[in-house]
Amino acid sequence: YCVLCRNNPTTAVKRKLQEPQRVCEMDFLRNLFSSTLGLGSPDKVLDELTLEGVAQYIKSGKCKNILCMVGAGISTSAGIPDFRSPGTGLYANLQKYNLPYPEAIFQIDYFKKHPEPFFALARELYPGQFKPTVCHYFIKLLKDKGLLRRCYSQNIDTLERVAGLEGDDLIEAHGTFYTSHCVSFCCRAEYNLDWMKEKIFSDDIPKCDKCNSLVKPDIVFFGENLPVRFFTSMKMDFPRCDLLIVMGTSLQVQPFAGLVGRVSKSCPRLLINMEKAGQVSLRSGMEPCYKIVTFFLLSRDVAHISTCDDGCLALADLLGWKVSFTGIFHKGS
């Protein structure tokens, strides 16, 4: 009896003779993700697991509630670095701030004692200095077509808003520069984008006008909770999702990464990214830990390996939508 494929001895022997062992293991892993993790898809929704298949599904009219999950990769073509790319990522270029470790710049306890590095970085990355990318405008186009249910973003650059998405269209999972608050629990005075911008670009450390405590943009630091709206909205949105589009994220940060498993088993998932994403670690006893890329194991997943802009342009072309780099979209003939 084969513990991997659950076949009787005769079938197991035949299979072992006919196929490499890795095929049997792959079947086991597919079954594991399907039954144990609830990630499998019993129903065939896409005619083919390609970008063309996704386009045909959208054009069929069966797809009415698209969710987008996006990360720093959708903003790199705007000139904003991502976090983890070797050499070019944000964490690889923070030596000038003399941090004990790169992530300290976003640690709430470190910020309260040493706010200077964060605000120096904020001057470099502050909203208003960058323009939305083709990818941002493609998400806005989904809204204009009545197809976008919500965009869940890990980004704090506010470019989704600049592209035309409004508060109800967005879940800014890691917060935003759009508003700021006094860090004192006894005060919590709120300040707007213009107030914070004036402080940052005058080289002042922003202090509360009421109590003189630090004022911090409403981005989520390590050690802080995600916005309540993130949790309430995901419970409503993901069960209703009929197409999940994931772009520009490595899916390494929880709880954001776990959202991909909250759609139904019949919901197709499209990844547009420069590399594989969505890894699950498996360990058996004392054996080494193996990382399995779930987007390539499951029968409902499409992975389009490209820049986010190129992937959006390719999908728009397949849909008959003409996209310009100025953010103006025209319906093709």
Tell me the per-residue pLDDT of 299-311, one tens digit each, with 9 for 90 and over.
Answer: 789 999 999 999 9
Pairing state between β 175-182 and 269-273: unpaired
Q: What is the pLDDT of residues 139-167, one digit of tens each?
A: 999 999 999 999 999 998 889 999 999 98
| 118, pLDDT greater than 90 | no
Given 114, 136, 174, 181, the catalytic residue: 174
Q: Of 82, 85, 77, 193, which Cα lies nearest the Cα of 136?
A: 77
Q: Is 289 annotated as a binding residue?
A: no
Instruction: Look at residue 158 in the predicted model and tell me its pLDDT.
Output: 86
Q: pLDDT tens digits for 200-244?
A: 888 789 999 999 999 999 989 887 888 899 999 999 999 999 999
**Contacts of the segment 22-27: beta carbons below 8 A, 24+ positions apart:** 26/297
> Is the model more confident about 188 or about 283?
188
Answer yes or no: are the C-beta atoms of 69 and 247 closer than 8 Å: yes
Question: Is 107 annotated for ligand binding?
Answer: no
73 is in an annotated binding site: yes
What CA–CA distance (Å, rounded) separates 175 from 226? 8
Give the distance between the most distant pair of CA atoms in the chain.
79
* Cα–Cα distance for residue pair 175/219, rounded to 1 Å: 4
Look at residue 6 and tell me whether its pLDDT is greater than 50. no
Query: Does the annotation list 157 as a binding residue?
Result: yes
Q: Residue 294: pLDDT band by 50, 70, 90 thresholds?
A: low
Please tell me whether 224 is known to bind a ligand: no
State yes or no: pLDDT of 31 exceeds 80: no
What does residue 107 show for φ and ψ, rounded to 5 degrees?
Answer: -95, 125
Residue 331 has pLDDT above 80, yes or no: no
Q: Determine whether the annotation assigns residue 232 to a binding site.
A: no
What are the tens digits of pLDDT across the range 314-326? 999 999 987 654 4
- Peptide bond connecting 288 to the previous residue in cis, omega within 30 degrees of 0: no
Query: What Å distances lie between residue 272 and 59, 111, 136, 144, 280, CA to CA?
Result: 19, 34, 13, 21, 19
Closest by CA to 220, choosing from 172, 186, 252, is: 172
- Give the pTM: 0.76
Q: Annotated catalytic, 181? A: no
Domains of the chain as residue ranges with CATH: 46-79+132-174+230-278+286-332 (3.40.50.1220), 81-129+175-219 (3.30.1600.10)
